[in-house]
Amino acid sequence: MQILPCLILLILAGTAVFTAGCTQGTGPVLPATPLPVATPPLQDLSLSPADVPACFSLAEQSVKNTGDVGKLAKDLGWQAGYEVTYTCPVQGLEPTVIVHSLAVYPAENMPGIASMVDEQDRSAGLAYENLSFPDQGIAMRGFYGKAGGAQVSNVSPGDYLVSGGHDVPEQNTGSGSDGAEVIFYRGTNFEVLKMTGPGTNTTLLRDLAQKASAKLE
């Protein structure tokens, strides 16, 4: 009479072992493939209306494509571009203008592009003074151009590398005014911040450059 209970116990034990085996994986769990980190759109990296002083209003913004840029930019590996313009009216004078231009280039080309834009954008014949910046782990340079009978406009040769264009103008033309510019880059993002007009302020431009560069971190 004791054989039957023993048999039942053996059957139950075998069932438990079988069930436990079925609940385990059939093989090692493969690590999940990480999704690529998306690069923020250039629009998200540009200065927003909240970043600029209250007197400045959004005047223009545009996304650039390959049809908007010339051969030089393409040869240097241009991949994308965006530009936003803010203006502050000055009674009886031309407005003060802030232009933030952004572009994507191969990282290895950045130093050469920065030097080229810096050199080209000083070609208007103004009296130039270099701007200094704290060491914050990002390549940044800039200058201030004082008008003294020379003429400067919101379009400069270096713009054709950053915001697009098919031909590099021989010289700048326009109403004479001061101008300042900051050039900086990190990774594949290249940016130029430019201010022209009677309200040109290098302290403000430096602050705006700090805000814009912080978005690259």
- The predicted pLDDT at position 150 comes to 44
Domain contains 15: no
Q: Does pTM surpass 0.75?
A: no
Pairing of strands 179-186, 189-196: antiparallel
- Provide the domain limits for residue 139: 42-214
- The predicted pLDDT at position 37 comes to 39
**Along the 217 residues of the chain, how does pLDDT read in single tens digits?**
555 555 454 454 555 444 444 444 444 544 444 443 345 689 999 999 999 999 999 999 999 988 888 889 999 999 999 999 999 998 888 899 999 999 999 999 999 999 999 988 886 567 889 998 877 778 899 999 987 644 444 445 455 566 554 444 444 434 467 899 999 999 999 999 999 999 999 999 999 999 999 998 7
CATH code, 145: 3.40.1000
Domain contains 10: no
- The predicted pLDDT at position 157 comes to 45
Domain contains 26: no
Domain contains 46: yes
SS (H, E, C) the chain: CCHHHHHHHHHHHHHHHHHHHHHCCCCCCCCCCCCCCCCCCHHHHCCCCCCCCCCCEEEEEEEECHHHECHHHHHCCCCEEEEEEEEEEECCEEEEEEEEEEEECCHHHHHHHHHHHHHHCCCCCCEEEEECCCCCCCEEEEEEEECCCCCCCCCCCCHHHHCCECCCCCCCCCCCCCEEEEEEEECCEEEEEEEECCCCCHHHHHHHHHHHHHCCC
Domain contains 118: yes
Domain contains 80: yes
Domain contains 78: yes
Domain count, the chain: 1
Domain contains 21: no
